[in-house]
């Protein structure tokens, strides 16, 4: 489980109040120090932007806040972070080299 997973997204936006940039578009969970998301998508090849200051758990589009411009959240990343209640957790095994 990765409760402290950070965010990686396909886009970024800056709030009007001048805060720091936030994720937008397609969002995945990412652990700092890795070059891939929790579901196995390579960050550079997919063109994802890293957001080490934004927790993945804070990006639920239904709650608003930092998830205002999130259009899609990766269901595998949600499962890998333990976001689904009552179900089995998705685990990546035998990753490709």
Does any domain span residue 17? yes
Kindly state the greatest CA–CA separation across the chain. Answer: 45
- The pLDDT > 70 percentage for the chain reads 78
- Strands 22-30, 70-73: pairing is parallel
User: Does pLDDT of 77 surpass 80?
Assistant: yes
The overall average pLDDT reported for the chain is 82
Does any domain span residue 50? yes
Whether the CB-CB separation of 22 and 15 falls below 8 Å is answered with yes
- Whole-model pTM: value is 0.79
**Domains identified in the chain, total number:** 1
- Domain span holding position 69: 6-80
Does any domain span residue 21? yes
Run of H or E residues at 71 = strand 70-73
Residue 78 or residue 1, greater confidence? 78
Does any domain span residue 88? no
């Amino acid at each position: 489980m990765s409760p402290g997973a950070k965010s990686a997204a396909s886009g970024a936006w800056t709030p009007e109040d001048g805060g720091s940039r936030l994720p937008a578009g397609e969002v995945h969970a990412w652990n700092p120090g890795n070059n891939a998301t929790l579901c196995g998508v390579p960050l550079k090849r997919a063109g994802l932007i890293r957001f080490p200051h934004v927790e993945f758990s804070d990006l639920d589009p239904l709650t608003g806040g930092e998830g205002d411009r999130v259009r899609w959240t990766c269901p595998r990343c949600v499962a890998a972070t333990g976001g689904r209640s009552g179900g089995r957790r998705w685990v990546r095994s035998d990753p490709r080299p």
